Amino acid sequence: MAETTAAMFGGHKTNGLVLVVDDEPDVRKVVRMTLEKSGYDVIEAEDGEKAIQEVQKGENPLMLDVIISDIRMPKINGVEAINYFQQQYPRVPLIVLTGFPDMEMATGFLKQGIVDYLVKPVEKEKLIKSVATAMEKRDLNRL
């Protein structure tokens, strides 16, 4: 298993920075709290448009380690946001988190390089394992 790299954010060590994109505030809150308890820093966005703005406003968008995105959202939906992130930030692993499982869509995403396709409500252990797998993939992409 690859060692998780610790970055520095605001003077504290972190396992990584995760962007959570979901139009449901309760889902974002549960995911954020689960990941923060596991040592990750989390930023949130309620749709694809806000997610893109969030990533672009930082001084170095490549500080982002993992993106978790819902599919069905207003404005820029998850499919459009994921396509954008894969084009602009190909080294940042993506995880889909959806309330509407679709095997055909899941297969398509996995063929496109999505790390995992999770269905809400996701078990905490499964979410943490998926993010850890994505972090390992991120570390391999940096080599």
The string of pLDDT tens digits covering residues 43-99 is 999 999 999 888 887 666 558 899 999 999 988 888 999 999 999 989 899 999 999
Tell me how far the alpha carbon of residue 49 is from its chain's centroid.
15
pLDDT at 38: 96
Per-chain mean pLDDT for the chain: 87
Decide: 22 and 46 in contact? Cβ < 8 Å.
Answer: yes
How far is 22 from 18, CA to CA, in rounded Å? Answer: 13
User: Comparing 139 with 10, which gets the higher pLDDT?
Assistant: 139
**Residues sharing a CB contact under 8 Å with residue 57, sequence separation 6 or more, in sequence order:** none
Residue 12 banded pLDDT, cuts 50, 70, 90: low
Render pLDDT for 116-128 as a digit per residue (tens, 0 to 9).
Answer: 999 999 999 999 9
Section 90-111 average pLDDT: 93
